Amino acid sequence: MKKLFLYCTVLAVGLGTAGAGTQETARPLREGSMVSAVNGKLTRTPGLDTWFFTAKVNITDGRGTIKAGEPIELLPSSTLERMTAGADQKEIYVRLWARVIRYCNRNVLIDKLPSKKFVNRKAPNKQDLDSKFLGDNLFNKNFLFPIYFVPLSNIDETEEQKDRTGDAGNSDDDSIIPAQVLKRLKPKRVVNLAKLDGMLETQGDVVLANRTGFVVIDDTAKMFTIDGLGRNVDDLHFKLLPCETLEATEKSLVDTPIVRQRFRVSGVVTVYKGQRYILLQRATRTYSHGNFAR
């Protein structure tokens, strides 16, 4: 398992174009980096509800770079829903503030490797089969979690933007974040889960802190369900957004697949088209030892 994990890590870095139609880089940006006041356009995959942001300047964290004109997928969020509300055009022009997210899907591919079919018999080409499978399916890439935006009525850049050169993220001007954006960076913490939906509707994204529940991942969905322990929160389910914390959680599930695992999680909860999502910030496996978890 450790050898396979390392192999997937190396291959993920080496892949340059796996997954046609999506942004790939040899070195993804670090998760937590900020995109601040970057002009660009939103485009949607035909026939799908998947949106991408294409910046007019390079986006960098000092190590990796997403080049200007290279689309990067936007994660579902209340901000994305507002940006695209009533959109009938193919392209939407905005100035965007967003958090950079990184995710690699290596852990969910381990049980799907072709070599798994040859556990009890010889297959001289197992390594070749696995390499091709991973080359076709493995990705290690960035997403953007939108926080704030300003619509651009004119597709041309303003004089200020025309004069700006270099990469987004390195300029002192880009680090000046408006007060309303800073407010969204620190969403309110949920105390009463019974009021969660009301808070999401009236206050925007909120923080779910130190809540215990179960993570379920299969071919159809990745979900976190709060363990109500007798409280009136049994129906609270959240779709899990891709991020580094989810990647680590998937590793724990792969290592102990037959045990139903309980996690204590913290993260940002958002809503997109009526569906709750959570962007995990922390997920720690808990052990009840015969007692109820918090």
Superfamily designation of domain 28-104+139-154: Nucleic acid-binding proteins (2.40.50.140)
Beta carbons within 10 angstroms of residue 128's beta carbon: 12
Domains 28-104+139-154 and 187-287 alike in fold: yes
Supply the pTM of this predicted model: 0.79
Q: What is the dihedral of CA 29, 34, 40, 42, to 10 degrees?
A: 80
Q: 166-180, 217-231, 277-291: which has the minimum mean pLDDT?
A: 166-180
User: Given pLDDT bands bounded at 50, 70 and 90, which one contains residue 221?
Assistant: confident
Higher pLDDT, 26 or 47: 47
Task: Tell me: pLDDT of 96 over 80.
Answer: yes
Place of tokens 């990745």: 222
Task: Tell me: pLDDT of 238 over 60.
Answer: yes
Amino acid at 46: P
User: Given pLDDT bands bounded at 50, 70 and 90, which one contains residue 171?
Assistant: very low
Q: What average pLDDT score do residues 5-25 get?
A: 43
Q: 17-21, 256-260, 284-288: which has the minimum mean pLDDT?
A: 17-21
Task: Tell me: pLDDT of 247 over 60.
Answer: yes
Environment class of 156 (CB within 10 Å of its CB; exposed 0-12, middle 13-18, buried 19+): exposed
CATH number of the 187-287 domain: 2.40.50
Which residue ranges make up each domain of the chain? 28-104+139-154, 187-287
Place of tokens 């409280």: 231
Q: What average pLDDT score do residues 193-216 get?
A: 77
Higher pLDDT, 101 or 120: 101
Q: 76-80, 158-162, 255-259, 279-283: which has the minimum mean pLDDT?
A: 158-162
Environment class of 37 (CB within 10 Å of its CB; exposed 0-12, middle 13-18, buried 19+): buried
Task: Name the nearest CA neighbour of 59 among 43, 93, 75, 35.
Answer: 35
Task: Tell me: pLDDT of 16 over 60.
Answer: no
Higher pLDDT, 117 or 22: 117
- Whole-angstrom distance, CA of residue 31 vs CA of residue 220: 25
Residue-level pLDDT at 60: 94
